Amino acid sequence: MLEEEKIEFENLLFTVDDGIALITLNRPDKMNALNIDLLDELHEAFIECEMDDEIKAVLLTGSGEKAFAAGADIQELASLSPMEAREQSQDTADLFFYIERFPKPVIAAVNGFCLGGGNELAMACHMRWASEKAKFGQPEVNLGLICGYGGSQRLPRLIGKGRAIELLISGNTIDAQKACEFGLVNHVVKQDDLLNECKQFLSTVLTKGPLAVKLSIEAVNRGYDMSLEQGVALESELFGIISSTSDSMEGTAAFIEKRKAHFLGK
């Protein structure tokens, strides 16, 4: 894909610049609520990001300043039968697993309300940067519902069981600073600086060994629910794999020779 080339979607904006794909949820009149069409397009966009070797990282945000995504599309959910609701939950959970296990770095740039399914989507990303105006929560209980896209499982893993249950059963929201304190987000920045801060971080990551970045993400994801012993064994296995690569040899040689490494992803 050429720099700045655009792929046309109805519910997303998609651009690529300097190896970073910027995917913007684009239903501003609905606070970027996640409906089935948007989720299908999001899946297509991530497949494109995985298949395109020119894309090295993904930045996901919402259009406008009001919302990253204010939740699932409630009108659409209300029209589903119990069986359809279960299927939709499973399909979306599968998409979020795909994002969570994505081999390239994924940052959610949270620019406003990040609620319900929006928060579940953000939690599936590898990292979260938030504007100072961002708000987070799982308000499903206000509608007599529970999380449907993995929120009841990822939230306690990120912020702890007690805090997660408090948010899940109260429907309360927390601001960006509290979310950062809890460990839900990595950094809080000014609204106007949000995308640039994320791009600057990803640009730094893209100077590192791409296979090392990929296997670091894999090590964390695969080892997260293992015992410590199993996780360390997995790390040793992946360390053996990375040690056989040309990038590893280039990186160590560059360090010894006191020069900049030139990684090829091989």
Catalytic residues: 120, 140
HSE-CB of 93 using CA atoms within 13 angstroms: 14
Query: How many Å apart are CA 216 and CA 239, to the nearest integer?
Result: 10
Query: How many Å apart are CA 213 and CA 133, to the nearest integer?
Result: 30
- Could you tell me the two tokens for 223? 């080892």
To which H or E segment does residue 60 belong?
strand 57-62
Query: How many Å apart are CA 104 and CA 125, to the nearest integer?
Result: 11
Strand order in the sheet with 20-25: 12-17, 20-25, 57-62, 106-110, 127-131, 187-189
HSE-CB of 87 using CA atoms within 13 angstroms: 6
Query: How many Å apart are CA 199 and CA 145, to the nearest integer?
Result: 36
